[in-house]
Amino acid sequence: MKTRAGESGPDGLPYRPCVGIALVNRQGLVFLGRRRREAGPEHLEADGGHAWQMPQGGIDPGEDPYRAALRELYEETNVRSVALLAEAPDWYAYDLPQAVAGRSWRGRYRGQTQKWFALRFTGPDSEIDVAAPGGGWHKPEFESWRWEKLENLPDLIIPFKRPVYDQVVAAFRSVVVPG
């Protein structure tokens, strides 16, 4: 599903504008974080096999999506050493399942519309700190992390986000390479 930031769905609820980041290491693998159980109500149905995702987060009012991506990446992983590889050509959206929609974001949104960026990680793995992200100023969203092949990501994500991950894989397949 493609939708622009700020568009509403058929039920009248808007999509929450958001960014997503495919952080790519020198071997051409992508950062994947395992969500903490308490990280958000949209992950209440996540089991051990589907609690993984790439960094993502909301865009503040008036904030440029690329700047939001850099901020969210730092707030979730502590990473600042990056170079832009690509920006997805479209906004990708997903709807929250009905059982989750009323609990997430106080029921104000039907889901998220996301602008995705592929970023080359240029620092050492020791820069990544999911236990004390954002220099220790932000609450951890991930309990662990790993590097993974891009094509494997859709099978590891919570099912309602898979169509977005399929689009991200298609958009970044040519840039997620060793470098």
- Quote the strand ranges of 36-80, DSSP E: 52-53, 56-58
Ordered by where they begin, the domains of the chain are 15-40+49-172 (3.90.79.10)
Taking only Cα atoms into account, the Rg of the chain, rounded to an integer number of angstroms, comes to 15
* 111 Cβ contact list (under 8 Å, min separation 6): 9, 15, 16, 93, 94, 95, 96, 101
Residue-level pLDDT, tens digit, the chain, 179 residues? 455 555 555 567 889 999 999 999 999 999 999 998 765 544 444 454 578 999 999 999 999 999 999 999 999 999 999 999 999 999 999 998 876 665 655 667 888 999 999 999 999 999 999 999 999 999 999 999 999 999 999 999 999 999 999 999 999 999 999 98
> How do 56-58 and 82-95 pair as beta strands?
unpaired
